[in-house]
């Protein structure tokens, strides 16, 4: 199994005809204080199951903080039903990440594992912005 597309977006969905739709693709969240979240956040994946691979897999997405520590994990079974086991099969997945909070400034990542094997990484930078209502802004 491999990941052809992996991204974070404000909106993502899979249409009835299996098309992956994503809008508002981003890789950074700017905030004045921690913890910070993003009101709507989706992890969109296009997964390719290679010809000859089994139908049953285990998919895990692990949020890793700037210190390299796993903060949370979303995991579960992934069963691929296809007509021809010998051919590659592509499927789109969308994981709703709304409500997730980030406790530290700096680079985070969503690491994707298939059957306990690392397959891809989506990076997200949490940056501190100036609070315009506070005195910690630079002198002009």
Fold for 2-128, please state it.
Immunoglobulin-like (2.60.40)
Distance CA 104, CA 36 (A): 9
Q: pLDDT band at residue 107, thresholds of 50, 70 and 90?
A: very high
> Between vectors from CA 55 to CA 53 and to CA 61, what angle results, nearest 5°?
90
Instruction: State pLDDT tens for residues 38-57.
Output: 989 999 999 999 888 888 99
pLDDT interval class at 138 (50, 70, 90): very low
**What is the pTM for the complete model shown?**
0.87
């Amino acid at each position: 199994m491999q990941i052809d597309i992996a991204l974070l977006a404000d909106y993502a969905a899979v249409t009835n005809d299996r098309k992956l739709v994503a809008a508002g693709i981003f890789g950074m969240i700017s905030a004045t204080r921690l913890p910070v979240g993003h009101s709507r956040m989706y992890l969109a994946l296009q997964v390719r199951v290679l010809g000859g691979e089994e139908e049953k897999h285990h998919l895990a997405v692990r949020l890793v903080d700037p210190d390299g520590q796993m903060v949370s994990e979303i995991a579960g079974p992934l069963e691929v039903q296809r007509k021809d086991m010998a051919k590659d099969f592509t499927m789109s997945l969308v994981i709703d990440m709304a409500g997730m909070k980030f406790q530290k400034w700096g680079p985070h990542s969503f690491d994707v594992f298939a059957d306990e094997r690392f397959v891809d990484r989506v990076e997200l930078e949490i940056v501190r912005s100036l609070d315009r209502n506070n005195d910690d802004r630079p002198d002009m």
